[in-house]
């Protein structure tokens, strides 16, 4: 089967970049990305490519080349489903906040709504591809909904999880480590798998396209994120010991990273990991383990989350204790709000938790992030429901300049590893702060010796240095 038209339901951080690259590399395939969020679709269609709703280096170039040629963004979901040979489901699967599995299980209501809409609209056979990160055996639920509509349409369900790192998503899509496709072992299932393989084969070498059964594909995504998060929590746990003993976590990381059995990636100590995937997927894995009565397995993976939360709380506690055990009425500048550099995604950002803790202590916070607007920051805090919206807006302000954010502040907390933070005139920043002036480097990116020479009192995670 040769794919001529693709529909992707969901125009977010996964669906948008993924389908843009597919369109760029497959000019003979019509790719339509649909979403119920009209303002998001309008932003994807905006002539000003700086207004794309997703910021990723290089994404604007990809969109510019393909948009209007064979890449389209629309709110007409029914039409796109009807015309498509292959439908990607790339909607949000947040952790449940209610009912059974609250706080751990994935909320699949958006996946089910997509499946029911596809079943209602489809008039001919379709290949449906899970792109969202999903629990094992979700494909069977989707298949059950699609095959019991009574309209005679036949569906094949594939699992094609994304392995993108936000901030390098376009590069990851253009040169992936691997593309994973899971499907049925039946003849029709294999044809569907081959159809998707042929799409990726337009730019991905065959040896990097891995095919499995659908259950292995679904579980592989959860496992990959769990392993990566585990490494971050492991090195962060060691950073605490470094601070107590006088060791330097950067030196420890380098030493163990040179062991070929371990490798150097994901051994950077920090204030904690964030993003939409790590915590959600580990909690999902914990829930699956508990569902099968594997409590020891669940406890093991849950500890990865507990260490991450501990690291965030430890960072904010250190700010309070250093500032003479009170931050009430003191201004603290946040450099960064996104969960990592080169993205405007703030989901589960360490900055949110650190800010929440400090605001509970009546601190005043000014935030500067080059890609995150103030309304997004307020939305993140309001979602926690710790304080009223009015209190959040009274205590926290967004600034368009790092110098304005730092002016008259008592301390600076670095929460995102934006490269530009290294290039600032730190003497100018110091001159306009209250003295003593503190810097808490939660990402380990600044030249501490230079800052100390200027006059700053500095703390860097895992350095053993004391402010």
| Segment 138-145 mean pLDDT | 77
pLDDT at 375: 97
409 confidence band (pLDDT: 50, 70, 90): very high
CB atoms within 10 A of CB 258: 10
Q: Give me the residue label for tokens 């904010």.
A: 316
pLDDT at 137: 65
User: How is residue 292 written in tokens?
Assistant: 């099968």
Cα–Cα dist 114/15, whole Å: 14
Cα–Cα dist 162/174, whole Å: 13
pLDDT at 141 over 80: no
> 213 pairs with which residues across the strands?
183
> Among residues 7, 8, 242, 277, which one is catalytic?
277
pLDDT at 451 over 80: yes
Residue 277 is among the residues annotated as catalytic for this protein = yes
First to last CA, the chain: 65
pLDDT at 136: 60
pLDDT at 257 over 80: yes
pLDDT at 132: 76
**CA-wise closest residue to 220 among 232, 212, 229:** 212
pLDDT at 233: 97
pLDDT at 111: 86
pLDDT at 40 over 90: yes
Cα–Cα dist 282/216, whole Å: 16
Evaluate whether 359 touches 392 at the Cβ level (below 8 Å).
yes
Task: For 105-136, give one letter per residue: b (16+ CB within 10 A) or e.
Answer: bbbbebbeebbeebbebbeeebbbbbbbbbbb
| Segment 180-202 mean pLDDT | 96
pLDDT at 465 over 60: no
| Segment 264-291 mean pLDDT | 93
CA distances from 158 to 13, 118, 218, 271 (A): 20, 15, 10, 37
Residue 171 sits at φ, ψ, to 5 deg, of -65, -40
Q: Which of 134-143, 276-285, 411-420, 433-442 has the lowest mean pLDDT?
A: 134-143
pLDDT at 215: 87
pLDDT at 109: 83
Q: What is the pLDDT of residues 203-215, one digit of tens each?
A: 999 999 999 998 8
18 confidence band (pLDDT: 50, 70, 90): very high
pLDDT at 251 over 70: yes
**CA-wise closest residue to 265 among 220, 226, 232:** 232
Which residues are CB-contacts of 187 (< 8 A; sequence separation ≥ 6)? none
| Segment 43-56 mean pLDDT | 95
- Which domains does the chain carry? 5-204 (3.40.50.720), 306-460 (3.40.50.720)
pLDDT at 92 over 90: no
pLDDT at 466 over 60: no
227 confidence band (pLDDT: 50, 70, 90): very high
């Amino acid at each position: 089967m040769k794919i001529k038209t693709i529909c992707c339901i969901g125009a977010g951080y996964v669906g948008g970049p993924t389908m843009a690259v597919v369109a760029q590399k497959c000019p003979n395939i019509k790719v339509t990305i649909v979403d119920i969020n009209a303002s998001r679709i309008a932003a994807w269609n905006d002539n000003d490519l700086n207004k794309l709703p997703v910021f990723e280096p290089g994404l604007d170039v990809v969109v510019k080349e393909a948009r209007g040629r064979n890449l389209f963004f629309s709110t007409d979901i029914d039409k796109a489903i009807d015309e498509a040979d292959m439908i990607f489901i790339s909607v949000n699967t947040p952790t449940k906040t209610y009912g059974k599995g609250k706080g751990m299980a994935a909320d699949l209501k958006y996946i089910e709504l997509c499946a029911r809409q596809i079943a209602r609209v489809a008039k001919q056979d379709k290949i449906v591809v899970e792109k969202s990160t999903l629990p094992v055996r979700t494909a069977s639920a989707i298949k059950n909904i699609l095959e019991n509509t009574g309209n005679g349409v036949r569906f094949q369900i594939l699992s094609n999880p994304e392995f993108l790192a936000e901030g390098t998503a376009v590069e990851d899509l253009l040169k992936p480590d691997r593309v994973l496709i899971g499907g049925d072992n039946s003849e029709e299932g294999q044809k569907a798998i081959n159809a998707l393989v042929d799409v990726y084969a337009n730019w991905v070498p065959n040896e990097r396209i891995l095919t499995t059964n659908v259950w292995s594909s679904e579980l592989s995504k959860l496992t990959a994120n769990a392993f990566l998060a585990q490494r971050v929590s492991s090195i962060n746990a060691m950073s605490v010991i470094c601070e107590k003993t006088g060791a330097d976590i950067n030196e420890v990381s380098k030493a163990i990273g040179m062991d070929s059995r371990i490798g150097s990636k994901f051994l950077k100590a920090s204030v904690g990991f964030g993003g939409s995937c790590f915590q959600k997927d580990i909690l999902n894995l914990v829930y699956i383990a508990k569902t099968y009565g594997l409590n020891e397995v669940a406890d093991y993976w849950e500890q990865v989350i507990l260490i991450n939360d501990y690291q965030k709380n430890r960072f904010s506690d250190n700010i309070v204790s250093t500032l003479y055990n009170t931050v009430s009425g003191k201004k603290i500048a946040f450099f960064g709000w996104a969960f990592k550099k080169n993205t405007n995604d703030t989901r589960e950002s360490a900055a949110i938790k650190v800010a929440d803790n400090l605001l509970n202590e009546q601190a005043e916070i000014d935030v500067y992030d080059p890609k995150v607007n103030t309304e997004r920051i307020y939305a993140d805090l309001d979602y926690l429901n710790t304080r009223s919206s009015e209190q959040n807006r009274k205590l926290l302000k967004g600034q368009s300049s790092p110098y304005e954010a730092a002016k008259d502040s008592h301390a600076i907390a670095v929460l995102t590893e934006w490269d530009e933070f290294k290039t600032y005139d730190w003497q100018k920043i110091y001159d306009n702060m209250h003295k003593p002036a503190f810097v808490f480097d939660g990402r380990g990116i600044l030249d501490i010796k230079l800052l100390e020479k200027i006059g700053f009192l500095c703390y860097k995670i895992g350095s053993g240095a004391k402010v």
